[in-house]
Amino acid sequence: MSKVGILGGGSWGTALANLVGCNGHDVLHWMRDRDAVSECNGQRTNTRYLPGLALSNRIEATSDLARVGQECRLILVVIPSQSLRMVVGELGNHLDGGHLLVHATKGFETGTFKRMSVIIREETCTKKIGVLSGPNLAKEIAEGQPSATVVASKYKEVIEASRQVLVGPTFRVYGSSDVIGAETGGALKNILAIASGLAVGLGFGDNTKAMLLTRGLAEISRLGIHLGAHPATFSGLSGIGDLMATCFSPLSRNFQVGARLAKGESMEQIVGAMNQVAEGIKTTRAVHEYGQANGLYLPITEGVHRILYDGVSPRLVLAELMESTRFMYEVDPEIGVE
């Protein structure tokens, strides 16, 4: 099993496959779309998601999940959160205890609020699981711009195997044992990216975005600590690093959702025009429901939820946040963020 498996033919899955291939490793890239498989193998491109990128000759695309399990020991799972259980469940029929699975999916399962690593553990016999998370915009990585990420796992073998195939001249990999923290930071930053896009779309500047991001980091830390994460994780690449990249970049799909909502487009128009999943939309609902059930103070998440699902005006939500004494003056000694 000398090949590296990649599940998911979107922009991030394609960028990772190309990164691994350019680092000199053979890649078996699973895609659901057979036309995309043919394009990748025949033309060395994925024009739908990363137009203009010439893919490494070491990548072989396939729509056969069994082959991935049979030929690849290390498998990177880059599937939208609400589809991950189905795909990994099918993959699980072809795995044994020797496989290493690292997911790069940022979200929670709707209805259960389960993290992706928990789903992978439930659906496969694999225990050696990790999460890849950080300030990783697919287009910039595909262009070879200097970038870094975190691979978090309880197993050093998972981290080292990931480093061996991902590290290259323009990409660094840091290790962590805090799986919960990496997954929580990666999921919630998408909610904050929607809020940041809303602020920009309304014409506000850097002060407003900085306020939202700083208070948003407090929300991420509050939920993460509640779930069992280490507070220091949120000061690193998979916390503040990922938050900054996603909330300040127009390349972010979630940022685009917020900006377009602020300009008056409906959710139906926005989602219908996107060819990829903006995870923050469903993550907002999942976190809102969990926060309500557990009495967590998550004001920005609640505000974004009202905008997305209740049709409340973004300006009204921001005005209410600014009028909230608790929002403006709260000090949370447990997480050390004012």
Residue 53 DSSP class:
P
pLDDT of residue 328: 46
Which of helix, strand or coil describes residue 75? strand
Q: Which residues of 29-62 are buried (b: 16+ CB within 10 A; e: fewer)?
A: bbbeeeebbebbeeeebbebbbeebebbebbbbb
Position 57 scores a pLDDT of: 97
Residue 145, phi then psi, degrees to nearest 5: -75, 145
Identify the pLDDT of residue 335. Answer: 52
pTM, entire model: 0.93
DSSP string, 237-272: IIIIIHHHHHHH-TT-HHHHHHHHHHTT--HHHHHH
Domains and CATH numbers, the chain: 3-177 (3.40.50.720), 180-329 (1.10.1040.10)
Q: Residue 277 has what pLDDT? A: 87
Cα 190 from Cα 137, distance rounded (Å): 13
Per-residue pLDDT tens listing for the chain (338 residues) = 589 999 999 999 999 999 999 999 999 999 999 999 999 999 999 999 999 999 999 999 999 999 999 999 999 999 999 999 999 999 999 999 899 999 999 999 999 999 999 999 999 999 999 999 999 999 999 999 999 999 999 999 999 999 999 999 999 999 999 999 999 999 999 999 999 999 999 999 999 999 999 999 999 999 999 999 999 999 999 999 999 999 999 999 999 999 999 999 998 899 888 888 899 999 999 999 999 999 999 999 999 999 999 999 999 998 888 887 665 445 554 554 43
Question: Which residues are catalytic, by number?
Answer: 189
Count CB atoms within 10 A of the CB of residue 73. Answer: 17
Bridge partners (DSSP) listed for residue 133? 150
pLDDT, residue 326, reads 64
Distances (CA, A) of 320 to 7, 327, 328: 42, 10, 11
How far apart are alpha carbons 96 and 88 in whole angstroms?
13
